[in-house]
């Protein structure tokens, strides 16, 4: 806030508000990057427990599809993490139905396909009705959080312990047969 200074004319009116030349977005993103990394660590330690949500129940744009969705409660708030796919666009041609003699192609030159072009991860804070009230900026830490949630959902830690236990048992049996 020190960078934003109001200069007052002698009669008390504001004559100019100077704006900093550097965008505060980078600083803001760094703050959210840090907070989302902390959410990932809390998820890894199972302080935050996520649960799967039916992806088809989450509203989205007509050319997008929510592929997976998870929700969690933390500090009296509700979070939603979604993986959304966006459909590819392809140019319309004269061979496409409803194009006719190029009339529609000039109005809507692209058609959507069923193929997904982009996958986007989003983290939202939700209100009591489950409606998004805040969307966190898209920062790299969202991928870390998503991976931790996927690990938690698959219970990979239990599976890895089972591998170790089975290997130890097999090794022990092998050692006893060698004696």
The set of residues, in sequence order, having a beta carbon less than 8 Å from that of 133 and lying 6+ positions away, is 124, 125, 126, 127
What per-residue confidence (pLDDT) applies to 61? 78
> How many CB atoms sit inside 10 A of residue 72's CB?
18
pTM reported for the whole predicted model: 0.64
For the chain, what are the domain ranges? Answer: 29-159
What per-residue confidence (pLDDT) applies to 173? 82
The HSE-up count of residue 109 (CA atoms within 13 Å, CB side) is 1
Rounded mean pLDDT for each run of 10 residues along the chain, 179 residues in total: 33 37 67 96 96 91 88 95 83 54 49 69 93 94 96 86 91 79
- The structure tokens listed for 124 are 């939202």
What per-residue confidence (pLDDT) applies to 60? 82
């Amino acid at each position: 806030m020190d960078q934003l200074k109001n200069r007052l004319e002698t009669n008390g009116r504001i004559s100019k508000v100077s704006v900093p030349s550097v965008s505060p977005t980078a600083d803001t993103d760094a703050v959210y990057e840090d907070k989302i990394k902390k959410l990932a660590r809390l998820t890894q330690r199972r302080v935050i427990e996520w649960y799967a949500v039916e992806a088809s129940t989450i509203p989205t744009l007509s050319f997008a599809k929510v592929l997976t969705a998870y929700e969690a409660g933390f500090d009296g708030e509700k979070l939603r993490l979604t993986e959304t796919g966006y459909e590819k666009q392809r140019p319309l041609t004269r061979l496409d139905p409803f194009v006719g003699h190029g009339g529609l192609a000039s109005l809507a030159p692209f058609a959507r396909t069923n193929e997904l072009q982009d996958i986007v991860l989003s983290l939202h804070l939700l209100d009591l009705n489950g409606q998004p009230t805040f969307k966190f900026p898209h920062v790299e830490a969202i991928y870390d959080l998503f991976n931790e949630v996927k690990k938690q959902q698959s219970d990979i830690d239990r599976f890895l312990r089972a591998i170790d236990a089975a290997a130890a048992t097999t090794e022990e049996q092998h050692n006893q047969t060698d004696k």
